[in-house]
C-alpha cells in the first residue's frame, strides 16, 4: 500500500515547471512591468505597495513554492499539497482584487489601476496581472491534482513489481522476505536445487 503513495517525479515535472514560471511572472511583473509600459499604477518599477505585496508578490511566491514542491517530491501526498498551494494562490490572484474591499482588514490593499492608454491594453494588463493569470494557475494546478489523484496502471505495476522483487527467495539462504501479502512462486537455482540434484545422483548410483 505504501508503494502506491510513491509517484515518479516526472508525473509533476511539466506542471511544476509551468507553475514556477507563472509564479515568477506574477511576482515580478508588477515590479518590472513599467519598463515595458505594462503596469498598474503607480507606474514605477520596483515600487512596493501593500496592494502589490499582498495581491501579487505573495501569491506569486506561494505559486513558486507549490511548483517547486510538485517538481521535487516523489511522495504523492506531498506533491498534492504543492498543487493545492498553487491552486489557492491562483484563486487569490483571480479574486483578491474583488474580495479585498469586502474584508475590512484588507480594505487598504489598493491594487491600483491599469496604466495603459487604450482599452485593449488596460484589459490585457488586468488579465496578465490578476484574472487571467489566476485562472491559468488554477487550471495547471487542478490538472496536476487530477494526475496525482489517479493511481495509474503503470504506478500499480511498478509498486507490485517492487514488492515482488523484495519478496523473491534469496538464492543463497532460501529465505523469503515478507512484504505485504505479495508472494512469488518463482524458483531460482541455488543451493536448494544443487542439493536435490546431488541426492538424486547418489540414489541413482546406488
Per-residue pLDDT, 108: 77
At residue 183, the pLDDT reads 45
| pLDDT, tens digit, 9 for 90 and up, residues 113-156 | 999 989 999 999 999 999 999 999 999 999 999 888 877 555 55
Radius of gyration, CA atoms only, the chain: 28
Distance between CA 167 and CA 165 in Å, rounded? Answer: 5
- Closest by Cα among 51, 64, 98 to 39: 51
From the number of C-beta atoms within 10 Å of its C-beta (0-12, 13-18, 19+), residue 94 rates as buried
Listed as ranges, residues in the chain with pLDDT below 70 are 1-4, 9, 105, 107, 152-206
Look up residue 189 and give its three cell numbers: 537455482
* All three cell numbers of 122: 488596460
Burial of 70 from C-beta contacts in 10 A (0-12 / 13-18 / 19+): buried
pLDDT at site 148? 87
pLDDT at 33: 95
Please give the model's pTM, rounded to 2 decimal places: 0.73
CB 56 within 8 A of CB 48: no
Amino acid at each position: 500500500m505504501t508503494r502506491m503513495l510513491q509517484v515518479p517525479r516526472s508525473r509533476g515535472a511539466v506542471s511544476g515547471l509551468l507553475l514556477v514560471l507563472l509564479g515568477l511572472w506574477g511576482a515580478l511583473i508588477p515590479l518590472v512591468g513599467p519598463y515595458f509600459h505594462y503596469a498598474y499604477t503607480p507606474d514605477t518599477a520596483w515600487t512596493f505597495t501593500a496592494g502589490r505585496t499582498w495581491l501579487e508578490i505573495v501569491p506569486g511566491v506561494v505559486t513558486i513554492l507549490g511548483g517547486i514542491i510538485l517538481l521535487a517530491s516523489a511522495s504523492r501526498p506531498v506533491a498534492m499539497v504543492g498543487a493545492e498551494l498553487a491552486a489557492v494562490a491562483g484563486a487569490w490572484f483571480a479574486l483578491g482584487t474583488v474580495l479585498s474591499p469586502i474584508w475590512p482588514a484588507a480594505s487598504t490593499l489598493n491594487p491600483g489601476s491599469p496604466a495603459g492608454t487604450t482599452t485593449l491594453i488596460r484589459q490585457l494588463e488586468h488579465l496578465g496581472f490578476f484574472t487571467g493569470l489566476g485562472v491559468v494557475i488554477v487550471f495547471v494546478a487542478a490538472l496536476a491534482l487530477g494526475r496525482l489523484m489517479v493511481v495509474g496502471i503503470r504506478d500499480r505495476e511498478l509498486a507490485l513489481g517492487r514488492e515482488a522483487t523484495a519478496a523473491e527467495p534469496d538464492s543463497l539462504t532460501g529465505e523469503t522476505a515478507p512484504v505485504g501479502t505479495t508472494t512469488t512462486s518463482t524458483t531460482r537455482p541455488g543451493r536448494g536445487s544443487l542439493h536435490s540434484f546431488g541426492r538424486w545422483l547418489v540414489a541413482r548410483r546406488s
